[in-house]
Amino acid sequence: MTPGAPLVEMRGIVKAFGAVEALRGADLTLGVAEVLGLVGDNAAGKSTLMKILTGVHRPDAGEIVFEGRAVAFHSPRDSRALGIEMIYQNLALAPNLDVVGNVFLGRERTKRVLPRVMEWLDERRMDAETRKILDRLKIRMDSVRAPVARLSGGQQQAVAIARAVSFNARVVVMDEPTASLAVKEVGKVLALVSELRAKQVSVILISHRLQDVFTVADRVMVLRGGRGALDTRIGDTTMDEVVKYIVGADTGGLSHLASGR
């Protein structure tokens, strides 16, 4: 990979669900250790674009390039193999399991008591690995043995992030991570996003809260009607300008640049 080259490039992504054209030639680039804010009105195509990046949906047209190589994802497993993880809005945690149980859900570490006959869960090892990940992300948690249902929204978000990181994620996609959080917790989740970037993990942050995007993102991209309307460094724009591109007032979008499409 050439230095400074994007980690992820999505080009001309088209996706229709029946008569609904969710994406109509969307482009996206993401750098190494970059936080990209992905914003847009309801139904603009944000979640769909991310589900294509994470192998949930296949695009009708367009290409995905990862580290300079064209890739095709047939399932979330394929994108996970490259280190792309998505945290959904509902977090997909198991509320009755504790923190450790959630981090290792579906791939529990075992130790062999009698090879091929008896396998026990290696609770100590999972416990230690979970603590290591939490420490690395500077997440403070009183007990990794508390059922996650008893944690606050922000702590649950932290568990979901720890789980993503435990897969050696290089890209973490978060869909509205702060939407249902108390004000006090929003800052903590945004600090976690910065911490991921400091660990060389890139983040795509979908949010309707522009203040979050302006607090933590390096770049912001606006989707409107299934296409890019604005893509700029945070320092080169303002919330007012971004809002204009979201609602589409008098901007014309980037469609005038995308001739031939």
Ligand X SMILES: Nc1ncnc2c1ncn2[C@@H]1O[C@H](COP(=O)(O)OP(=O)(O)OP(=O)(O)O)[C@@H](O)[C@H]1O
By the criterion CB under 6 A, which residues form the site for ligand X?
17, 20, 22, 40, 42-48
Stretch that binds Mg ion, among 26-34, 44-52, 57-65, 149-157 (CB under 5 A): 44-52
Query: Which element (helix H / strand E) includes 86?
Result: strand 84-87
44 binds, among ligand X, Mg ion, none (CB under 5 to 8 A by kind): ligand X
Distance CA 175, CA 49 (A): 11
For Mg ion, which is the closer residue by CB, 47 or 237? 47
List of residues 6+ apart from 174 with CB closer than 8 A? 86, 87, 161, 193, 203, 204, 205, 206
Q: Which stretch binds Mg ion (CB under 5 A): 21-29, 45-53, 149-157, 246-254?
A: 45-53
CA angle 50, 150, 84 (to 5 degrees): 20
Nearer to ligand X, 37 or 101 (CB): 37
AA letter at 128: A
Does 207 interact with Mg ion (rule: CB under 5 A)?
Answer: no
The nearer residue to Mg ion, 179 or 254, going by C-beta atoms, is 179
Task: Pick the stretch among 46-54, 79-87, 118-126, 164-172 that binds Mg ion (CB under 5 A).
Answer: 46-54
Using CB under 5 A as the binding rule, the residues of this chain from 102 to 121 that contact Mg ion are: none
Binding at 229: pick from Mg ion, ligand X, none (beta carbon under 5-8 Å per type):
none
- Pick 47 or 155: Cβ nearer Mg ion: 47
Exposure on the CB side of residue 53, measured as CA atoms within 13 A: 33
**Rounded least distance, CB 26 to ligand X, Å:** 10
In total, the chain counts a number of residues equal to 261
Nearest approach, Cβ of residue 195 and ligand X (Å): 25
Which residue minimizes CB distance to Mg ion? 47
> CA of 87: how far to CAs of 33, 91, 129, 159, 174, in Å?
18, 6, 20, 10, 5
The pair of structure tokens assigned to 57 is 């949906």
Kindly state the smallest distance separating residue 184's Cβ from ligand X, in Å: 25
At residue 188, what are phi and psi to the nearest 5 degrees? -65, -40
Q: Using the rule CB under 5 A, is 178 a contact of Mg ion? A: no
99 alpha-carbon distance from chain centroid? 20
Nearer Cβ to Mg ion (47/157): 47
- In the bound state with ligand X, the residue whose beta carbon lies nearer, of 43 and 149, is 43
CA 249/CA 75 separation, integer angstroms: 38
Q: Which residues bind Mg ion (CB under 5 A)?
A: 47
